[in-house]
């Protein structure tokens, strides 16, 4: 799914990409990032299920409206980027752990005083 989402991102920058594909991709991104949901995330299982269903569906619809040459070129670019970034997940995990450690230390110092 990440490879396809990255390919769609590259395709959106192409001037041959139709406006409908750009709109659907923007809607998927907005739905994924904005705190407004059809079902609140606090609702067990259903709150996350709508995100898991709606966002990939919108992305798939956007990708289906792309011209074949645009999609092929975007997928090739996506594979090139993925080969160069195998360190991304460990680097992100290390960053999150460092930030959590600093936050824990700051809380400990504040409560200890």
The total domain count for the chain is 1
Mean pLDDT to the nearest integer, 11-40: 79
Q: Is residue 95 part of a domain?
A: no
Mean pLDDT to the nearest integer, 24-46: 71
Q: Is residue 105 part of a domain?
A: no
Label residue 23 by pLDDT band (50, 70, 90). Answer: confident
Query: What pLDDT was estimated at residue 43?
Result: 65
Q: Is residue 96 part of a domain?
A: no
Q: What is the pTM of this model?
A: 0.56
Distance in angstroms (rounded) separating the CA atoms of residues 16 and 67:
8
- Residues spanned by the domain of 74: 2-87
Mean pLDDT to the nearest integer, 4-26: 84
Q: Is residue 18 part of a domain?
A: yes
What confidence tens digit (pLDDT) does each residue in 39-57 have?
665 666 666 777 778 778 8
Q: Is residue 29 part of a domain?
A: yes
Q: Is residue 97 part of a domain?
A: no
Query: What pLDDT was estimated at residue 69?
Result: 92
Distance in angstroms (rounded) separating the CA atoms of residues 113 and 110:
6
């Amino acid at each position: 799914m990440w490879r396809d989402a990255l390919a769609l991102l590259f395709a959106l920058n192409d001037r041959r990409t139709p406006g409908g594909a750009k709109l659907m991709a923007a809607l998927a991104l907005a739905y994924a990032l904005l705190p407004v949901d059809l079902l609140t995330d606090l609702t067990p299982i259903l709150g996350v299920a709508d995100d898991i269903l709606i966002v990939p569906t919108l992305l798939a619809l956007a990708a289906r409206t792309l011209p074949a040459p645009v999609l092929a070129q975007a997928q090739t670019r996506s594979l090139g980027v993925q080969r160069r970034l195998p360190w991304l997940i460990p680097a992100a995990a290390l960053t999150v752990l460092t930030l959590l450690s600093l936050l824990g230390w700051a809380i400990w110092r504040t409560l200890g005083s």
